[in-house]
Amino acid sequence: MTVHTGRHFLQIPGPTNVPDRVLRAMDMPTMDHRGPEFAEIGFAVLSAMQRVFRTKQPVIIYPSSGTGAWEAAIVNTLQPGDKVLMCETGQFAVLWHGIADKFKLDVDFISGDWRHGADLEQIEARLSADKAHKIKAVCVVHNETSTACVTYPRDVRKILDTLKHPALLMVDTISGLGSLEYEHDAWGIDVSIAGSQKGLMLPPGLGFNAVSEKALAVAKANPGMRSYWDWQEVININKAGTWPYTPATNLLFGLREAVKMLEEEGFENVFARHKRHSEATRAAIKVWGLETQCQEQGAHSPALTAVRVPDGHDADHFRKIVLENFDMSLGTGLNKVKGKVFRIGHIGHFNDLMLMGTLSGVEMGLDLAKVPHRGGGVLAAMEVLKGHDAAQSKAVA
């Protein structure tokens, strides 16, 4: 076995690289979750997450994975038999559909080819046809981590508003929040779903729901069984800066520090950085002569890029070679793109030179794995990065 040295390149699209400051903030003695010192932290993270989601409404923080936050969105607002509209943008949409099935929802699943964002025309058509307002919720994935295609929730809100359709708008922004613009209130989102291990730069272990007034009202009226995920109980007890159970204190220590870091950089800068890295990555891919999985102009994810390998080649064999030779983890292709796609995460705590190390590893790996490609992708990526930096330098000076 090869012993690796230097830092591992963790370039899956989440969990992402956790900053030292965040790890060190978590590396502190745990504390009395009912004491006054903890309440300060409780209030701080609740308010920080409102700023991150861009909402004045409550944010619920769960000790859970992101899948838990999906389930929370469902069990608070929907009952067995309720009709929901979902869009097959990729594997995470499929998984969320699976949870909806388990809670016996009636899912209208708009099919997709996994290479585009949600099909807005179909959403409009089905909502428009739903004169009886049987559809209780429209569920979209903001940043489909399996395909690197973005769906813009604002577009869905516009459709709902235009049609005056009362369905709730639920958005999975698990890998979007903290990497892409997101406006829970301004975009009229009813339930936002997020997790800690992506743009928030934390280890996994926290799930989030941001909830509109309307969603809260729906939940209050909903007799469906729930306990752990029940919003109202958490919201009530959060008023005292604590939780109805022992919260994941040390992850909350980290969350406070992580949001501080995002705010020090400035969200606009954070989003611009992710876009720049995405653009540079695509420039490299173009030179390599490979295809991105995403085929929709304007829908390319700033957070990650999914790349197709040519027919006859196995993306996972390529990933294995990259891992063994260059100690870099790339994302695997999921479900129906297994073996056909690998994914490059450029999300979270990241910078230009980490991206260049990443893309160099991909370019060398393509060669070692004998995946046909043209060399020099990294040069194209550097052109993109330099352009931005030069522009930025000018602006700063």
Q: Is 61 or 120 the residue whose CB approaches a copy of itself more closely? A: 61
- Residues 11 and 13: their CA atoms lie apart, in Å, by 6
CB 363 within 8 A of CB 345: no
Identity at 89, one-letter amino acid code: T
Q: Is 221 or 353 the residue whose CB approaches a copy of itself more closely? A: 353
How buried is 102 (Cβ within 10 angstroms: 0-12 exposed, 13-18 middle, 19+ buried)? exposed
How buried is 283 (Cβ within 10 angstroms: 0-12 exposed, 13-18 middle, 19+ buried)? buried
Beta strands in the chain (DSSP E): 9-11, 59-63, 83-87, 106-110, 135-141, 143-144, 149-150, 168-172, 191-195, 206-211, 291-292, 304-308, 328-332, 341-345
Q: Is 308 or 349 the residue whose CB approaches a copy of itself more closely? A: 349
Nearest approach in angstroms of CB 245 to a copy of itself is: 4
Residue 192: DSSP 8-state: E
Q: Is 210 or 334 the residue whose CB approaches a copy of itself more closely? A: 334
Nearest approach in angstroms of CB 238 to a copy of itself is: 14
Q: Is 13 or 299 the residue whose CB approaches a copy of itself more closely? A: 13
Nearest approach in angstroms of CB 329 to a copy of itself is: 4
Nearest approach in angstroms of CB 298 to a copy of itself is: 25
376 Rama class: left (phi>0) / alpha (psi -120 to 50) / beta: left
Q: Is 44 or 356 the residue whose CB approaches a copy of itself more closely? A: 356
Nearest approach in angstroms of CB 54 to a copy of itself is: 20
Nearest approach in angstroms of CB 273 to a copy of itself is: 7
Q: Is 160 or 307 the residue whose CB approaches a copy of itself more closely? A: 307
Nearest approach in angstroms of CB 158 to a copy of itself is: 31
The CA-CA-CA angle for residues 13, 15, 17, to 5°, reads 95
Residue 13: DSSP 8-state: S
Q: Is 159 or 194 the residue whose CB approaches a copy of itself more closely? A: 194
Nearest approach in angstroms of CB 376 to a copy of itself is: 6
Q: Is 217 or 390 the residue whose CB approaches a copy of itself more closely? A: 390
Nearest approach in angstroms of CB 120 to a copy of itself is: 28
Contacts of 136 (CB under 8 A, 6+ apart): 77, 78, 82, 83, 84, 167, 168
- Residues 68 and 90: their CA atoms lie apart, in Å, by 19
CB 309 within 8 A of CB 373: no
Nearest approach in angstroms of CB 116 to a copy of itself is: 25
Residue 336: DSSP 8-state: G
Q: How many CB atoms lie within 10 A of CB 140?
A: 27
- Residues 209 and 176: their CA atoms lie apart, in Å, by 14
Q: Is 216 or 270 the residue whose CB approaches a copy of itself more closely? A: 270
The CA-CA-CA angle for residues 321, 273, 58, to 5°, reads 105
Q: Is 295 or 325 the residue whose CB approaches a copy of itself more closely? A: 325
H helices present in 289-375, as ranges:
315-326, 352-368
Nearest approach in angstroms of CB 301 to a copy of itself is: 18
- Residues 314 and 339: their CA atoms lie apart, in Å, by 5
